[in-house]
Structure 1
């Protein structure tokens, strides 16, 4: 051990007797300092402008632009310059032969030199750690464990790069060649993960070898044994190769025996790496403050109750635009999207079935099905022999309701439910959707029955006034069917036979018959949950139902005078009491009602009445009689009209036997229409409002709550001048100080 430490000390001295070590240290300091202070300055600007600030610890240290992320991308530029002379220098001068003949082992020589690099890398870690102190003075509630986890990842990456550089330095007597060779190997290790991704066995091996992105989890708050062991094995591999090389120089061995030794070492390392990467042997530590990289407790509790095998089967239509997500080349990324669940379900089985069939929508009529399949096979590298034909896939599963696009089915035991991809920027299902799918299987969905046959809003139509986007759209993340609900249509007279958990009545165009009214009233009397939405001019169709619970719709229309919008676009605001039923939004949140009428409470009976949304009393009034905003010029007339605060939405609650009954009455049926779900101006919360209403009506069953505590590191304590002083310290004062120390050290060495 003493000899090993002596070699390390000697090598470290040689390293600092050259200007390279000092220059790298200074450049590293300046680069990280500039990155940190510029990000801090940008966030302070946002803070001054009153704009929302993201989680500052992650912005400054992780993500794509944080200092740890930047260092991860640029580290390959530093290490080859440090390691290039470790052996090349002695091989060039011939002194290495003398070293081999001295009373030290090859093991001690290699580890001693490597230890010197580890110590130097620790000095770079000290630079990174200085930003923790800077951050503590700059940011309220800095998440220190999160940063330490990221720094650990960077240090492991430095050590892995150093091991590669050490080995490449042992192969040549030219330092420049050693540096370039190290760069080449590092480039290979970063690129190799893209090799052979279309083939299962090759994919697993090349992906394990890939060093690209290995530090991402550390930097972003997730430490795993899989990544930790990877770095240790890479270090072991290249140190082992270096030791074998020099041992073979000392001993006379055949080429075959040398090849066997090298091959055996590589196979052992790869085998250990593969075993350690299996979900069963993988352990994690979430270093974020609120365990952001781990499933929420609700999801964990639900998974803990699973006693049957869990299986996820992905059906990939080769000719659909979504096929790329299920292609062999994307298989690793696709599997990683379920990594947080595989931690708690290590036996989770993932299956992929590729088929081809005509598209339900957006069909390309210019090409035959055969031509489309040939193109898909060529582009995505599917195995045509293993693809199911249209007939075979129809015998296996009916994917017409899923539009023959990529869809998964989560199966627990003999029960299954679809898990979809979505047409948004995220595309993949996240925790909310995956946990919801699991809960649907284990506890069944909540049934929402929407009344039809009297001209009510439709569920399977994308016309402006209908409800498909929010209720029944398979490729919309926030739709009810993707949030744990089962949506069906029934006529009013069959409510009793279906016995749904929630009934919805939305803007009937015709009068309900006595039989239908009795059926609805009977459902309400028995404690059924219901949401009723009407439209101005048609209140007479719903008032016979509402009057039985002491409520009615006003016969007039609400108007609101604003600068940029039509008079009948009412921008209602939430009441303070709405928070009591889970409708808490930001202070400026509004719900847009394109045409609405007041909800009048006549006799509360035994209901607890909760106002949800009110109009602005300084801008709103009720207009009676018929009028046409397109042809008439209408404005508020103080002599005839009266500004009022009107309720546009109310909730009713009471106890019926052992059941808590919940009712929502809304004076507008357009608030959750397809066109309102896509409104850009004004900014509204219509979609979230609609979903939260159904959450309340379902007694909180769905959507599944996967919310997390709000970030607390969102305040910058420094002003711009103070940030500029910090920047000057990292760009000038500290580099000059270190440069002076280095220059004095080198000059003193030169005199000796």
Structure 2
């Protein structure tokens, strides 16, 4: 070890007596200051405007615009300048012959040289740490472990780059060639993740070899064994190559023997790296305060109940419009979407199938109107240069009923006991399922989740029809992320001429256009008496049909249509915010109220609770200037006028009521709404100027409450507390100047002083 330290000391003297090392420090410091100042400027400005800084620590240091990821982008430019002469200089000076003829071992030479680069890397990391520790001092309730894990990621990246640069310097006496070679290897390691991704075994190796994004987990506050081991193996691999180069320079050997040694070193690193990527080898440390890199508590509880083997089948129809979502070239990225689950259950299997079958694809129908499915696939395969084949759907027909999913991209989750469910992608910007949808799908197979029954037979709103009046979008639209079917609910139509099935946990009666018979009301009463949960929604023009139903729970739909004339909207458009009681009842409504987002009802009746059996909570109510309009029917041509003699009363009316009571030791829950359009497909798709509706907040709140919190899955985490800074605009202006100009100037002065002292000696 003494020899290694002596070599390292000598190399450090050469480094710091060189203007290149100081120039790198100055440029790195100046560039880091620019990046950090831009980020922190925005933070200070936002605070001055009175805004909370959501998770300031992660906002400063991680993400696409974060400090650490951005300085990591430039490190590959600095390290080759430092390493290009470490060994090349020995060749040029002729001192390499003295080293090789000395009793010093080749490993001691390489490790000594590398130790000096590690120490220099600590200096570079120390410059980044200046900004990091400033944030620790000025961000209130800063998430310090995240800051430190990011510094570790920076340092490991520098060490990996330095090992590569040292190897390149050991194989040539030309410093420029060494620098260019280092850049070439770094470019190769960044590019290789996309090589041979359609070959299963090779896919795993090339994906593992890629250095691109390896530090991002550290920047986000997560330390993984796989990533730490990757950096250790890369360092070991290239130090091994450099050591081999020196050893082979000392004694002659055949090129075959030399090649075998290099290949052996590579294969050892590759095998260890491949093993480290296996799910059973996964080990992570999430250092974030709120565990943002780990499954939420709700998801962890679900996974803890998963005692059977889980297989996820991914079916891609190459003739569908979404055939690009999980192509072989992107399979490793797709598997990463389930990494959080694989850490909890490493034996989850993921299988991919590619098939062809006619699907809803107007482009292909127009381009190849007379071609068979096989001919269409062959044409696409040739045009896109696909290196894989697909099978006809007939060979998969027994595995899954993909026809019910329209032969679109879909996943099938299956347990060892045969239980299965679909996991879909969605027609939105995100496309892929989030933690909430994945966990809901798993929970559907291992627990009995609520079944929602929709009453039929009286021209009620249907959960299966696509028209604007229907409820399909919020209930059963498979490609809509927030549809209840994708959040864990199942559905069944209920005819009140028969007894309501026991498995119905939530019954929906939505705007019956015909009255219910006495027999049907009796069966509904029996369901209520047993403690069944219920949703009742009606329209002001058919109160005579809905009131007999509402009366069973002590609620009355009041006569008239609620109006509240404004300059910008029709008078019958109710724009309402959640009440204080509503916000206390549901975090969905608390968020809606906090963001000042309204619930919109395009025509509603006022509600009144007249019963005694339930505790009634008003969730939404109209403005105090509203009244129940009894006369006007045409709100386009006529003007609404408040007439007390017509029975109109101006006051705030409840429009959404939540009722609850204890029945047979269990809490019964009922939601009554004075409008049925608020959750219709037409209203949910409606866009109005000057107002952004949040009707889905009430949908989620209502059905979460009615299902006793079982679904939708609550993936919330504790709110971030690092939301403010302890430094003001003036203090930051001074600090920003020091970062940008004073620190680089001090480094320049230090470099000049050392250079002058060296020159004087």
TM interval, shorter chain, is over 0.9
Q: Bigger shift: 508-517 or 57-66?
A: 508-517
User: Are residues 105 and 510 of structure 1, via their aligned partners in 2, closer, same or farther at CA, if it must alter by over 3 Å?
Assistant: same
Equivalent runs, 1:66-215 vs 2, <5 Å: 66-215=66-215
Aligned 8 A contact 2:295 2:340 in 1:
yes
Matching residue of 2:404: 401
Aligned 8 A contact 2:356 2:374 in 1:
no
Aligned 8 A contact 1:328 1:380 in 2:
no
Tell me how far apart the structure 1 counterparts of residues 567 and 48 of structure 2 sit (CA, whole Å). 28
Q: Deviations over 1:456-498 (max 9, x none)?
A: 1122233222211111011111110011100222222234246
Equivalent runs, 1:374-523 vs 2, <5 Å: 374-378=378-382, 385=389, 387-413=390-416, 414-497=418-501, 499-523=503-527
C-alpha RMSD over aligned residues: 1.8
Q: Deviations over 1:307-365 (max 9, x none)?
A: 21111111111111221112101101100000001001111110111111111575742
Equivalent runs, 1:220-299 vs 2, <5 Å: 220-299=220-299
- How much does 1:696 deviate? 0.7
- How much does 1:749 deviate? 0.6
Instruction: Extract unaligned runs of 5+ from structure 1.
Output: none
Aligned 8 A contact 2:4 2:108 in 1:
yes
User: Are residues 749 and 304 of structure 1, via their aligned partners in 2, closer, same or farther at CA, if it must alter by over 3 Å?
Assistant: same
Please say if 1:58 is aligned against 2:67: no
Q: Bigger shift: 644-653 or 627-636?
A: 627-636
Tell me how far apart the structure 2 counterparts of residues 451 and 301 of structure 1 sit (CA, whole Å). 33
Matching residue of 2:653: 646
Matching residue of 1:612: 619
Tell me how far apart the structure 1 counterparts of residues 541 and 85 of structure 2 sit (CA, whole Å). 87
- How much does 1:276 deviate? 1.4
- How much does 1:3 deviate? 1.1
Tell me how far apart the structure 2 counterparts of residues 621 and 313 of structure 1 sit (CA, whole Å). 56
- How much does 1:397 deviate? 1.8
Matching residue of 2:605: 597
- How much does 1:27 deviate? 1.2
Q: Bigger shift: 648-657 or 519-528?
A: 519-528
Tell me how far apart the structure 2 counterparts of residues 590 and 285 of structure 1 sit (CA, whole Å). 41
Q: Deviations over 1:346-396 (max 9, x none)?
A: 1111011111111157574222334431244346665665x3313333343
Q: Bigger shift: 554-563 or 671-680?
A: 671-680
Q: Bigger shift: 286-295 or 123-132?
A: 123-132
Matching residue of 1:686: 695
Q: Deviations over 1:260-297 (max 9, x none)?
A: 11111111110011111111112100011111101122
Q: Which SS does the other structure have where 1:322 is aligned?
A: coil
Matching residue of 2:564: 560
Aligned 8 A contact 2:198 2:388 in 1:
no
Matching residue of 1:302: 302
Aligned 8 A contact 1:573 1:616 in 2:
no
Tell me how far apart the structure 2 counterparts of residues 89 and 261 of structure 1 sit (CA, whole Å). 26
- How much does 1:51 deviate? 4.5
- How much does 1:547 deviate? 1.6
Matching residue of 1:730: 739
Tell me how far apart the structure 2 counterparts of residues 45 and 549 of structure 1 sit (CA, whole Å). 53
Aligned 8 A contact 2:578 2:598 in 1:
yes
Matching residue of 1:349: 349
- How much does 1:580 deviate? 4.4
Aligned 8 A contact 1:37 1:724 in 2:
no
Tell me how far apart the structure 2 counterparts of residues 454 and 485 of structure 1 sit (CA, whole Å). 24
- How much does 1:136 deviate? 2.8
Tell me how far apart the structure 2 counterparts of residues 589 and 342 of structure 1 sit (CA, whole Å). 37
Q: Which SS does the other structure have where 2:312 is aligned?
A: strand
Q: Which SS does the other structure have where 2:313 is aligned?
A: strand
- How much does 1:32 deviate? 1.4
User: Are residues 7 and 462 of structure 1, via their aligned partners in 2, closer, same or farther at CA, if it must alter by over 3 Å?
Assistant: same
Matching residue of 2:757: 748
User: Are residues 361 and 693 of structure 1, via their aligned partners in 2, closer, same or farther at CA, if it must alter by over 3 Å?
Assistant: farther
From 526, 529, 539, the equivalent of 1:525 is 529
Q: Which SS does the other structure have where 1:683 is aligned?
A: coil
Tell me how far apart the structure 2 counterparts of residues 463 and 30 of structure 1 sit (CA, whole Å). 60
User: Are residues 447 and 637 of structure 1, via their aligned partners in 2, closer, same or farther at CA, if it must alter by over 3 Å?
Assistant: same
Matching residue of 1:333: 333
Tell me how far apart the structure 1 counterparts of residues 39 and 235 of structure 2 sit (CA, whole Å). 33
Tell me how far apart the structure 1 counterparts of residues 645 and 7 of structure 2 sit (CA, whole Å). 97
Aligned 8 A contact 2:632 2:640 in 1:
no
Tell me how far apart the structure 1 counterparts of residues 379 and 57 of structure 2 sit (CA, whole Å). 46
- How much does 1:659 deviate? 2.5
- How much does 1:636 deviate? 5.2
Tell me how far apart the structure 2 counterparts of residues 52 and 198 of structure 1 sit (CA, whole Å). 46
User: Are residues 193 and 730 of structure 1, via their aligned partners in 2, closer, same or farther at CA, if it must alter by over 3 Å?
Assistant: same
Tell me how far apart the structure 2 counterparts of residues 142 and 62 of structure 1 sit (CA, whole Å). 14
Aligned 8 A contact 1:132 1:144 in 2:
no
From 551, 569, 573, the equivalent of 1:569 is 573
Aligned 8 A contact 2:617 2:658 in 1:
yes
Q: Bigger shift: 20-29 or 94-103?
A: 94-103
Tell me how far apart the structure 1 counterparts of residues 223 and 572 of structure 2 sit (CA, whole Å). 55
Q: Bigger shift: 538-547 or 574-583?
A: 574-583
Aligned 8 A contact 2:458 2:512 in 1:
yes
Aligned 8 A contact 1:327 1:381 in 2:
no
Instruction: Extract unaligned runs of 5+ from structure 2.
Output: none
Aligned 8 A contact 2:606 2:674 in 1:
yes
Tell me how far apart the structure 1 counterparts of residues 327 and 178 of structure 2 sit (CA, whole Å). 39
- How much does 1:61 deviate? 0.7
Tell me how far apart the structure 1 counterparts of residues 342 and 2 of structure 2 sit (CA, whole Å). 45
Matching residue of 1:625: 631
User: Are residues 122 and 243 of structure 1, via their aligned partners in 2, closer, same or farther at CA, if it must alter by over 3 Å?
Assistant: same
Tell me how far apart the structure 1 counterparts of residues 44 and 496 of structure 2 sit (CA, whole Å). 58
Aligned 8 A contact 2:110 2:243 in 1:
yes
- How much does 1:634 deviate? 2.4
Q: Deviations over 1:26-57 (max 9, x none)?
A: 11111111211211111222333345533211
Aligned 8 A contact 1:328 1:381 in 2:
no
TM-score, normalization by structure 1:
0.96
User: Are residues 4 and 390 of structure 1, via their aligned partners in 2, closer, same or farther at CA, if it must alter by over 3 Å?
Assistant: closer
Aligned 8 A contact 2:319 2:361 in 1:
no
Please say if 1:700 is aligned against 2:748: no
Q: Which SS does the other structure have where 1:488 is aligned?
A: strand
User: Are residues 378 and 223 of structure 1, via their aligned partners in 2, closer, same or farther at CA, if it must alter by over 3 Å?
Assistant: farther
